[in-house]
Structure 1
Amino acid sequence: MSALILKVDSVRLAFEDRKILQDVHITCRQGEVIGLLGRNGCGKSSLLRIIYGTLNASYKYVSIDDLFIHKGYHKNRIAYLPQHSYLPDSLKIKNLAKMLVDENFWDEFIDLTIYKVNCHKTTGQLSGGELRQLEMLMIIHSKADFILLDEPFTHISPIQADEFKPVIRACAKRKGIIITDHQYYNILEVSDKVILLKDGVTKHITNNDELVTYGYLSGK
């Protein structure tokens, strides 16, 4: 069976007279990790929310295998990890996992050490780093064909980040992933392709030196 393809094109977004997004094009295949980089406030999170369907754009074209997708979350086609915690703090992790994790990946999920250690706790009993890891793991083990990760490395330690990267790569064998984080070095390490969002326009990076050329990284 051929890999599904998520296409995002012609996204336009403006707040009052300020243009945030104006010429956006991203293609993500199942089996691929797309890294999305850009300065704070450039519209990365807004773009992910538009793809997911929780933010309205002036115009957008989002499709999976050329079938237009109005709301990415409809029928669990696309899953989204926001920057903020999305889990209620009164429920046990094991109960939340049963609601969010795809049964096809259940055995794989419950074999993860962080789940084994914390499954009987509630979200309110976890540290910020533990909660962030479990939120990420539930999202990438969900039924969705495509995963959007917004600042997944925030609030976790470098050691935890290094442990999580192979999980992202393993997940990408069966899903398409678009990931953004201000810790650009983590994005460069885990991604197959990198896209820079600058002045509302997507720049498809073929060489990391272009990140210096476009002014995202210092050349020093």
Structure 2
Amino acid sequence: MSWRAGLFPPGPHVLEADGIQVSFGGRPVLSHVYLRVQTGQIVGLLGRNGSGKSTLLQTVFGARAVPDASVRVNGRRAVPAFQTAGLLNYLPQVPLLPAHLTLAQAARLLRVNLEKATANFPDLHAQLGARPGELSGGTARLAQVLLLLHADTSFSLFDEPFSGIMPVHLETLAVEMQQAKQRKGLLLSDHRYVEVLALSDVVYLLHQGRLFKLGADPQAELAAHGYLVA
């Protein structure tokens, strides 16, 4: 049985994905993948550039159709997941907001209280009437992350959420994410390993097409796979 669009209920949920097999040019990119995220949890997804992290996030969200891929919520099929209202949102690496919308207009479309979403970032207050192209790359990225964090979904998927964001804002954004996980599940993929590890309750490593769930000492396991935490 599948979730029907518009009927996704509130409450604790578990999001799972498996059966994802993706190859590019005959080269396997994703195989033997099992991913689990639950509400009340931040899950980190690490891996080298080109390892398939973005492809995995796109598949879970439903932007990339993959034969036999299974995405489930509480054991019930949800493919493509984005068609189930209130289930999840997704920030890709590329800009998300339409160029013609101001931040205030985008917030209204997402039904987000913009004053609340930006309360801890006073630098943004003077720019709420600006369009994404009128902002610096880091400021636009921060605004998009905040809008999705505060949107009313059970899960949020983020691909490089810290990209270009000023260091002075990273600590505050981390607090925002910790607060958001009290009401939703977060899946973060970012090359800034330190920030991801500090936030995550569970960490996965995508390595040579396989997804590994790391244990109590993820830094040691990352080192064993030849990764450097910087």
The residue number in structure 1 matching 2:149 is 140
Contact 1:23 1:202 in 2 (8 A): yes
Contact 2:15 2:37 in 1 (8 A): yes
175-184 vs 139-148, which moves further:
139-148
Identity percentage of aligned residues: 30
CA deviation vs aligned residue, 1:86-108 (integer Å, no higher than 9, x gap): 11222221111111144xx6663
Number of residue pairs aligned between Structure 1 and Structure 2: 216
Quick one: structure 1 residues 94 and 193, their matched pair in 2 at CA, closer, same or farther if it must change by over 3 Å? same
Match of 2:208 among 195, 199, 216: 199
109-118 vs 84-93, which moves further:
109-118
**What is the root-mean-square deviation of aligned Cα atoms in Å?**
1.7
Contact 2:118 2:146 in 1 (8 A): no
139-148 vs 31-40, which moves further:
139-148
Quick one: structure 1 residues 109 and 39, their matched pair in 2 at CA, closer, same or farther if it must change by over 3 Å? same
Moved over 6 A (4+): none
Aligned AA (1:87): L
Match of 2:92 among 79, 82, 96: 82
Where do 5+ consecutive residues of structure 1 fail to align? none
CA deviation vs aligned residue, 1:85-132 (integer Å, no higher than 9, x gap): 111222221111111144xx6663253435422212222221111111
The residue number in structure 2 matching 1:213 is 224
1:98 aligns with 2:108: yes
Aligned AA (1:16): G
Q: Distance between the aligned counterparts of 1:83 and 1:2, measured in 2? A: 29
Contact 1:11 1:21 in 2 (8 A): yes
Superposition pairs of residues 87-126 of structure 1, within 5 angstroms:
87-102=97-112, 108-109=116-117, 111-112=119-120, 113-126=122-135
The residue number in structure 1 matching 2:4 is none
76-85 vs 39-48, which moves further:
76-85
CA drift at 1:210 = 0.6
Q: Distance between the aligned counterparts of 1:163 and 1:195, measured in 2? A: 24
1:155 aligns with 2:135: no
The residue number in structure 1 matching 2:190 is 181
The residue number in structure 1 matching 2:16 is 7
The residue number in structure 1 matching 2:33 is 24
Aligned AA (1:3): P
Quick one: structure 1 residues 158 and 203, their matched pair in 2 at CA, closer, same or farther if it must change by over 3 Å? same
TM-score normalised by L of structure 2 = 0.88
The residue number in structure 2 matching 1:56 is 65
Match of 1:33 among 39, 42, 46: 42
TM-score normalised by L of structure 1 = 0.92
